[in-house]
Amino acid sequence: MRRIAFLLVFALAPSAFAKSHSADQTGAPAAVHHAAAHAKDATAPPPPSAYNDHPKLAIILVIDQFRGDYLDRYRADFKNRGFNLFLQHGAYFPDCYFDYANTKTAPGHATIGTGAYTDGHGIASNDWWDLARNQERTVSSVEDERYRLVGEPDSSIPANQPGAPPGAPKFLTGSSPRNLLASTVGDELRLATQGQAKVFGISLKDRAAILPAGSAANAAYWIDPSSGYFVTSTFYMSQLPDWVTAFNTSGRKAQAEQEANAPDKTTQFYELVGRTPAANSYELDFAQALITGEELGQHDVTDLVTISLSANDILGHQMGPDSNYEEQMVDSLDTQLDTFFTWLDKNIPGGLGNVWIALTADHGVAPIPSTAARYGINAATLDLNKLTEALDYAINMKFSPGEKLNYILPHQELPYISLNQSEFMKAGINEAEAEAAVQQLLPAAVASLTPTPPEPPPTDAIVPATPGAPGPQPSETRLPPHPVLFRSYTREQLADGPYPPTPWGTLLAHSYSPNGGWYIMVIPADYQMETLSSIQTTHFSPYSYDRHVPLGFYGAPFAPGIYRGRVEPVDIAATFAALMGINQPSASVGHILAQAFRPAADVTYPKPKPVPPARTHRATTHAGETPRGASPKATTHP
Ligand SMILES: [Zn+2]
């Protein structure tokens, strides 16, 4: 019925739609537009736009923790149409950098979807303190106690519900984009087509599925981290669609466990399978099941899917960017993408020519500190527990001598240090005073982390290298790395400025969020990070290695080539919106990458053959089979 109404609108006002989307799609000279517009008035088909199903399907493909230099570093390994779809057959931008200072997963995915930075979309980190919602722990960027999870295996019944197994998690909170303060390109596509376009987000991680897709998405799917089954939230629906249940019970999960050499029915799916190439093919197969099950690319307007591949991040934190495992992961993904793109070519009406794909990442990563230190870089780590102790001691001395109050909240994660608002308020100290005091005490607290009096290097270690022979590494002949505070900013400073009139000022302005209560943004020197317990390296900083990501486009409007010069991940939403003929997302600050557009008159789309939609999903095993095993609440990962 809705579809009939939609078609009626087109029948009544075809020229309005055609005219409003005919111009400015290409960045080509005005004369080309003019000529194209005239040609169209005669017999040419309407220009490509989301309103007339051009393309059939748009995909935003995000590789979690994938630095911009990887595709150059491993380029010689690539075969067929995996990464080469972008490098050889698409428009590729090797110099793409996020323009903000908080390069974590949740803000990265929100930025890609909204085309805005943290000051526009509100997501500053993966987790933060929100004392009004929870006094005992941080809340995650997407958890939402007003909703419940959908599709959790029985093993995940929370302890406060009947039938909960021993060791069950305390709660089974749902998720939603409640903290996302801006619309996404998917939201705008839904609005523009009055809900006709379908929009989905998928990932292993809830935040990476939910945030790039947006508030109006039809659904987002991610995995229960213990079992690996795909789940969603009552924010979207009250029960899983049949195709998801079929995928969950198909034996595909067991196959992933085998491929990853993980135990059958492991209760650590996220950690054990998630860090292997098997997780990427598991997700891409789920994407195929989604496209088939929801009949994406099969109707009168453009559909959109955001796919965030998590495996690279889980592995990268453990092994670092320079390990052989990273190269193996990239090479495997090259093959897996080739398989996925070939599948799209066969299963989307008209083939890959009717698909647009954007490729990017949510952030890069730093080298492992000890690796950087080996070459002489001052890559120290900061023990945040000790830093908190030192700050608490100094603040007590200042405001409550002789007492041991906890003015700094526990479980800190850089680049933020959160203050215990209620403790300060009890002492009659307001936000401005509290943040200023902590900021003032911070340099001494960081300096106190320097290892006990550094010994000068032994003079006999300083042996000049014989030409041609490997000499001593700088790390063997120099003082050990020591923590250095580069800059710090209070929440109030970030909110109100003034910002320096430089690129650094813009970067800071882009990093502000009202979420997180009272806080200080703490920026150590480059290549430094907090001391990590179970992983080796991370990403969080304003430095290039954390901000550099790939940016590639494939699709009919894009002129293949390598495009040098700085671009940003926010440009994806702006560019897709412009080409789709829809509004940019509500807080979008991206640029339209028109330098990579073909002239409008040259953009053509294959005519789909009238064949019934393929139904090849392997839904073969027993519906209703429920997995067993303990299922802790989703842990948070950087
Ligand atoms: Zn990430």
Highest mean pLDDT (candidates 36-40, 537-541, 601-605): 537-541
For 148-186, give one letter per residue: b (16+ CB within 10 A) or e: bbbbbbebbbbeeeeebeeebbeebbbbbbbbbbbbbbb
Ligand 1 centroid to 453 CA: how many Å? Answer: 37
Ligand 1 centroid to 491 CA: how many Å? Answer: 24
Compute the average pLDDT of residues 273-293: 98
Question: Cα–Cα–Cα angle for 481, 484, 490, nearest 5°?
Answer: 155
Q: How far apart are CA 282 and CA 275, in angstroms?
A: 12
Ligand 1 centroid to 48 CA: how many Å? Answer: 33
Ligand 1 centroid to 236 CA: how many Å? Answer: 23
Q: What pLDDT score was predicted for residue 52?
A: 75
Q: What pLDDT score was predicted for residue 120?
A: 98
Q: What percent of the chain has pLDDT over 90?
A: 75
Q: What is the pLDDT of residues 463-503, one digit of tens each?
A: 555 555 566 676 677 888 999 999 999 999 999 989 999 99
Ligand 1 centroid to 141 CA: how many Å? Answer: 13
Ligand 1 centroid to 5 CA: how many Å? Answer: 42
Q: What is the pLDDT of residues 183-202, one digit of tens each?
A: 999 999 999 999 999 999 99
Query: 40 pLDDT band (50/70/90 cuts)?
Result: very low
Q: What pLDDT score was predicted for residue 478?
A: 80
Q: What pLDDT score was predicted for residue 466?
A: 55
Ligand 1 centroid to 97 CA: how many Å? Answer: 15
Ligand 1 centroid to 547 CA: how many Å? Answer: 11
Compute the average pLDDT of residues 428-435: 97
Query: 51 pLDDT band (50/70/90 cuts)?
Result: confident
Ligand 1 centroid to 62 CA: how many Å? Answer: 9
**What size, in residues, is the chain?**
638
Alpha carbons within 13 angstroms on the beta-carbon side of residue 498 total 3
| pLDDT higher than 80, residue 111 | yes
Q: What is the pLDDT of residues 370-395, one digit of tens each?
A: 999 999 999 999 999 999 999 999 99
Ligand 1 centroid to 320 CA: how many Å? Answer: 14
Q: Is 10 exposed, middle or buried (0-12, 13-18, 19+ CB in 10 A)?
A: middle
| pLDDT higher than 80, residue 103 | yes
Ligand 1 centroid to 340 CA: how many Å? Answer: 22
Q: What pLDDT score was predicted for residue 460?
A: 58
Ligand 1 centroid to 33 CA: how many Å? Answer: 40
Q: What percent of the chain has pLDDT over 70?
A: 81
| pLDDT higher than 80, residue 521 | yes
Tokens 């376009």 belong to 197
Ligand 1 centroid to 64 CA: how many Å? Answer: 4
Compute the average pLDDT of residues 605-634: 47
pTM: 0.86
Ligand 1 centroid to 314 CA: how many Å? Answer: 9
Ligand 1 centroid to 14 CA: how many Å? Answer: 43
| pLDDT higher than 50, residue 450 | yes
In this predicted structure, which of 325-329, 348-352, 448-452, 505-509 has the lowest mean pLDDT? 448-452
Q: How far apart are CA 369 and CA 321, in angstroms?
A: 11
Q: Which residues are paired to 220 by β-bridges?
A: 201
Distances (CA, A) of 260 to 85, 319, 632: 27, 16, 21
Ligand 1 centroid to 140 CA: how many Å? Answer: 14
- Cβ neighbours around 12 below 10 Å, total: 8
Ligand 1 centroid to 399 CA: how many Å? Answer: 39
